[in-house]
Structure 1
Amino acid sequence: MSLVEWVLDSAVPGGRIRAGFTSRRGGTSEGAYEGLNLGLHVGDDPSAVARNRLSLTSEVGFITWMDQVHGANVEVVDSQVLTSGTPGRTFADTDGLVVDASLHPCSAAVMVADCVPLLLAASNAPIAAAVHVGRSGLFAGIASVALETMRERGAQGIRAYVGPSICGRCYEVPADMRDEAESLAPGSYSRTSWGTPAIDIPEALELQLRKAEVDDVVRSEICTMEDARYYSHRREMAAKRASGRFVGLVQVRRDTPF
């Protein structure tokens, strides 16, 4: 049983790109975190999380991680980082990783539990990105920063995969926050299924991606708050429980060195 549901597995000139998402399936975490919790910062038993991460690494190989801060900082993972011996495995204060690795496969993970795990993949070269898009990142335009970083390295024909996340009918916010969101990120204005103000991050994100000339945008129909197969901070918060984290992953392999 694969721990990752791959939504892309494609040969590109010079290499190969895979992109996909984990869920709660598999793993050794217990209690509120039951399943494949990959977050070390949410109160779960660190040894259980370590086993979960080891299981994922055993399946996909080398993974780079981020200490996400809801910002708009994007870092590049390339052969220079991977051979430096530092800090290629975890990037501090980062919400986007562009992977342009050499020869051996390298993956980048974005951890979420309602925020959007955005995966980007070039069609002309083995260049991809994993991006954390929460409300603040949406407002700051982190998707555009990641796209620009990829294009600076020669990426073209970029495809976007908007992974499982809280939907516009569930992400309840105060009315003034919804109005502010719409002014900063058009398309985010929404209403919950029970009639209160809400924000639709996936909708606004798709508009940002298309404005940035990404023509191929694939959106998951899964709402994390509605689907118990995925961790959801808001769902667990309502039950006064902690929530684990699942990840979006991009894996890049070059056939030839730079």
Structure 2
Amino acid sequence: MELAPGVGYAVTTRHGGAGAAPYDTRNLGGAVGDDPETVRRNRELTAREFGLAPERVVYMRQVHSPDIAYVTEPFGAEPPALDGIVTDRAGLGLAVLVADCGPVLLADPVARLVGAAHSGRVGTVAGVVPALVESMAARGGDPARMVALVGPMACGRCYEVPEQMRAEAAAALPELFGTTRQGTPAIDVRTGITAQLARAGVGDIRQDARCTIEDPDFFSYRRDHTTGRFAGYVWLTD
């Protein structure tokens, strides 16, 4: 699928790979306790399904930070600790691993730039998504031309938190304030990310509004605790 002309993207589910419970079957996360060889096979299978060379996919060591890196090749066996990546290299896949946090994919098809960010509660408060927009703009991107996809994540009607946590998050970003279906305190990460993208001037903001807690097609840490990770991918096709 195309996110914009010349830009491919995909969001995986937990189905279609190899692996045993509780990581069944397409776990792409390498730091969740799954067999490393199974993860390697799943990553290779998934890349090939999207027309990407497995050795040309960039994974991060995600730590809920606002840190962004420009990349021209994969990091190798020891990725740095960061939560956003940008490239202008065709055929280089950018991957963000999630299981309730938000995968955010960005593209400026005119400047030939794509970016990916891991934005959960902590990263959203820290501003990883605005930092990604700024990083792309610093390389010639125009937020008004950018297309964003905000992927599947824990929705604001399911992401229950203590009242103090909601208050602290909303003090930093008011749009994070949420309430569950039961009327208890929640955090609405999707609405927070969307507000950040809009304030950054991103011209086209799209939603894959599926909730990872509700939808068994996705891995969900809050639902299952020990579980795998699915991924959002973005790349320049030519």
Q: Is the pair's TM-score, using the shorter chain for normalization, greater than 0.5?
A: yes
Q: Distance in 2 between matches of 1:89 and 1:131?
A: 20
- The question of whether the paired residues in 2 share the 8 Å contact of 1:98 and 1:130 is answered with yes
Amino acid at match of 1:76: Y
Superposed, 1:126-145 pairs within 5 Å as 126-145=112-131
Q: Does 1:27 align with 2:13?
A: no
Task: Call closer, same or farther: CA 1:89–1:99 in 2, change over 3 Å.
Answer: farther
Flag structure 1 segments of 5+ consecutive residues without an equivalent: 1-5
Instruction: Using the TM superposition, give the Cα deviation of residue 91 of structure 1 relative to its aligned residue in structure 2, in angstroms.
Output: 3.0
Equivalent position SS for 2:175: coil
Partner of 1:37: 27
Q: Distance in 1 between matches of 2:199 and 2:209?
A: 22
Partner of 1:244: 228
Q: Distance in 2 between matches of 1:88 and 1:145?
A: 24
Task: Call closer, same or farther: CA 1:176–1:213 in 2, change over 3 Å.
Answer: same
Instruction: Using the TM superposition, give the Cα deviation of residue 194 of structure 1 relative to its aligned residue in structure 2, in angstroms.
Output: 1.6
Q: Distance in 1 between matches of 2:79 and 2:112?
A: 21
Q: Can you list the C-alpha shifts for 1:47-80, whole angstroms capped at 9, x where unaligned?
A: 21111011123232220110000001100113xx
Instruction: Using the TM superposition, give the Cα deviation of residue 90 of structure 1 relative to its aligned residue in structure 2, in angstroms.
Output: 5.8
Larger radius of gyration: 1
Partner of 1:3: none
Partner of 1:87: 75
Instruction: Using the TM superposition, give the Cα deviation of residue 253 of structure 1 relative to its aligned residue in structure 2, in angstroms.
Output: 4.0
Where has structure 1 moved over 6 Å in runs of 4 or more?
Answer: none
Superposed, 1:72-221 pairs within 5 Å as 72-78=66-72, 82=73, 87=75, 91-101=79-89, 104-156=90-142, 157-221=145-209
- The question of whether the paired residues in 1 share the 8 Å contact of 2:64 and 2:122 is answered with yes
Q: Can you list the C-alpha shifts for 1:204-242, whole angstroms capped at 9, x where unaligned?
A: 1101110111121111120000000000000102xxxx1
Give the structure-1-normalised TM-score: 0.86
User: What percentage of residue pairs aligned between the two structures are identical?
Assistant: 39
Instruction: Using the TM superposition, give the Cα deviation of residue 19 of structure 1 relative to its aligned residue in structure 2, in angstroms.
Output: 1.7
Equivalent position SS for 1:91: coil
Q: Distance in 2 between matches of 1:26 and 1:136?
A: 31
Give the structure-2-normalised TM-score: 0.93
Question: How many residue pairs align between the two structures?
Answer: 232
Flag structure 2 segments of 5+ consecutive residues without an equivalent: none
